[in-house]
Amino acid sequence: MSDNQAKLHFLFILWNFGYAHSSENLWCYGCNTNLTEGRSQECNDPYAPGPMVDLIQCPQNESHHCLKSIIVYHSILTTVRGCVPSTKVNSYCDINKYPDAKIDCYFCSVYACNHSDLLSSNFLTIISMISVLLWKCSALWAF
């Protein structure tokens, strides 16, 4: 890979990172949003941050927030992650609708912010490290 190709590759990664993280493109982790299909244990596991395929793009027709909800109902723990319209944030986790459940809801509005807290990583740091590694490798491949 030539030096120009490495620079172009680096710019492509940065452009994609900027596109995915721009305000009109909110991406959130999504799992257990449709419980009629059963519960996903990976969503409940704090040590499984979820693969990238669990990232979903929120609809762009209105502003959204990412949701992480922890629900305990009849001693069954269920974690729900997904996109919620910003207009429904204040009423989305109304505990009066489900008096037998313990519901904790967390909302955020930055890229993939509803991940597992135990394995959180700074996405920009990871992308930067990969870019530097690719740049260094391209210098080695040039010889």
- pLDDT score of 107: 94
Say what percent of the chain tops pLDDT 70. 62
Residue 89 has pLDDT above 50, yes or no: yes
- pLDDT score of 34: 77
Which of the four pLDDT bands, split at 50, 70 and 90, describes residue 32?
confident
User: In whole angstroms, what is the distance from residue 44 CA to residue 78 CA?
Assistant: 6
Taking the whole predicted model, whether its pTM rises above 0.75 is answered as: no
- pLDDT score of 142: 63
- For residue 10, give its domain range: 3-141
Output the CA–CA distances (angstroms, integers) from residue 27 to 24, 36, 66, 129, 143, in the order listed.
10, 23, 8, 22, 40
- pLDDT score of 78: 87
**Residue 115, domain CATH:** 2.10.60.10
- pLDDT score of 1: 57
Residue that has been written with the tokens 């920009």 in this structure: 124
User: Contact, 67 vs 109, CB < 8 A?
Assistant: no
User: In whole angstroms, what is the distance from residue 72 CA to residue 75 CA?
Assistant: 6
The pLDDT tens digits of the residues spanning 107-137 come to: 999 998 988 764 444 555 666 678 777 877 7
Give me the number of domains the chain comprises: 1
Q: What is the DSSP string of 93-127?
A: T-TTT-TTEEEEEEEE-STTTTS-STT---HHHHH
Residue 64 has pLDDT above 50, yes or no: yes
